[in-house]
């Protein structure tokens, strides 16, 4: 296999990994702040610097492939990031062309949640499964779906924006401006906002706004606001997942991202709501819900899988 660089461009960090013989584990990896507030060009400079920091030997550069995951919908044919809500100024960025011009090699641009499900499918929780729905729940909610051993991309590569499923008509506004989307009810941002609206935790976070991990810990310790907010988020998420099960009839649901890592109490609630919200018990037969096993590495390994399946 040719050498592969995988890049996971997030709102907070840029992670990059170098797979010198096109197989895991990574030969070298790096992470640096995205510095999103400094503008689109600064982020591009940081991406290049992250790849430089991998110290790729000149011999490998000649036949390198780069796979980059972006936090927003990607127009597949043109390799354009249409917009990235957590990266100010990222609107119609021709990331494929920009990377190709700079690095003079084959470049694949993909939505980051699509890369994550590819990674989990090939190297993580999803090995051996043929029909997978994955949600990455952090600042926002991303989605990736494997249908009969293929990544679901749709007509222009924009498919599976699963954070933007409407689950509450006229509900709270989402980051995209539309009402009642899953992301507006169950993302880390939505959970933190609801805790604030309900007067905060009994023992407020030292850092100001409480993180999902802190809210989950407070819920375990009996904090009534934390419990009520996480229950409401789990209700929305479990209901949305039931809709996805009716849509895709998957054998496996994988939950990734910080909110999924918040763990036990929340995930148990989500699974209970999901199972009790199915239209027929047949949908639950053989259906597993698992946390991501690859964590932050899912998208990077997905980048590797993307290059391997495309070449």
Residues of the shown chain interacting with its own copies in the complex, contacts defined by CB under 8 A:
73, 75, 82-83, 130-131, 143, 147-148, 150, 152-162, 164-169, 171, 174, 176-178, 180-181, 235-236, 239-240, 242-243, 246-251, 277-280, 282-283, 285-286
Q: Residues 6 or more apart from 181 whose CB is under 8 A from it?
A: 163, 164, 165, 166, 167, 171, 174
DSSP letter, residue 210: P
Between 20 and 160, CB nearer to its own copies? 160
DSSP strand E in 3-120: where? Answer: 4-9, 13-19, 28-33, 65-70, 74-75, 80-83, 91-93, 106-111
Between 61 and 246, CB nearer to its own copies? 246
121 bridge partner residues: none
Catalytic residue among 8, 38, 75, 112: 112
Between 102 and 131, CB nearer to its own copies? 131
Residue 246 is encoded by which pair of tokens? 């009716």
Q: Which candidate, 293, 311, 294, places its Cα nearest to that of 17?
A: 294
DSSP reduced 3-state for 142: strand
Give the CB-side neighbour count of residue 186, counting CA atoms within 13 A.
Answer: 33
Least distance to its own copies, CB of residue 180, Å: 8
Q: Is the dihedral of CA 249, 255, 256, 258 positive or negative?
A: positive
- Is residue 112 flagged as an active site residue? yes
Longest CA pairwise span in the chain (Å):
59
Interatomic CA distance for residues 60 and 50, integer angstroms: 17
Between 103 and 283, CB nearer to its own copies? 283
The H-or-E segment that residue 275 falls in is helix 264-276
Interatomic CA distance for residues 136 and 132, integer angstroms: 13
Least distance to its own copies, CB of residue 62, Å: 34
Least distance to its own copies, CB of residue 104, Å: 28
Least distance to its own copies, CB of residue 250, Å: 6
Least distance to its own copies, CB of residue 153, Å: 7
Least distance to its own copies, CB of residue 89, Å: 16
Between 71 and 243, CB nearer to its own copies? 243
Between 44 and 176, CB nearer to its own copies? 176
Active-site positions read 112
């Amino acid at each position: 296999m040719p050498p592969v660089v995988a890049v996971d461009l997030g709102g907070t960090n840029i992670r990059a990994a170098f797979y010198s013989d096109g197989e895991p584990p990574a030969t070298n990896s790096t992470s640096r702040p995205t510095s999103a507030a400094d503008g689109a060009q600064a982020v591009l400079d940081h991406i290049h610097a992250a790849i430089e920091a991998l110290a790729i030997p000149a011999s490998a550069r000649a036949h390198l492939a780069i796979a980059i995951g972006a936090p927003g919908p990607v127009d597949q044919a043109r390799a354009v990031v249409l917009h990235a809500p957590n990266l100010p100024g990222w609107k119609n960025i021709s990331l494929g062309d920009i990377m190709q011009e700079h690095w003079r090699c084959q470049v694949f641009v993909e939505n980051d949640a699509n890369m994550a499900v590819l990674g989990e499918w090939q190297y993580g929780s999803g090995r051996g499964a043929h029909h997978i729905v994955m949600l990455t729940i952090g600042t926002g909610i991303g989605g990736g779906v494997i249908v009969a051993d293929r990544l679901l991309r749709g007509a222009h590569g924009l498919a599976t924006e699963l954070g933007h499923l409407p689950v509450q008509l006229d509900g709270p506004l989402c980051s995209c401006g539309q009402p009642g989307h899953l992301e507006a009810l169950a993302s880390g941002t939505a959970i933190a906002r609801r805790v604030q609206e309900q007067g905060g935790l009994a023992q407020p976070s030292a850092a100001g706004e409480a993180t999902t991990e802190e809210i989950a810990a407070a819920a375990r310790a009996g904090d009534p606001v934390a419990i009520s907010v996480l229950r409401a988020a789990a209700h929305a998420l479990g209901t949305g997942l039931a809709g996805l099960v009716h849509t895709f009839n998957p054998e496996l649901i994988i939950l990734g991202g910080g909110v999924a890592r918040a763990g036990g109490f929340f995930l148990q609630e989500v699974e209970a709501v999901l199972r009790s919200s199915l239209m027929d018990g047949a949908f639950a037969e053989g259906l597993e819900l698992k946390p991501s096993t690859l964590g932050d590495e899912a998208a990077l390994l997905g980048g590797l899988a993307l290059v391997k399946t495309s070449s």
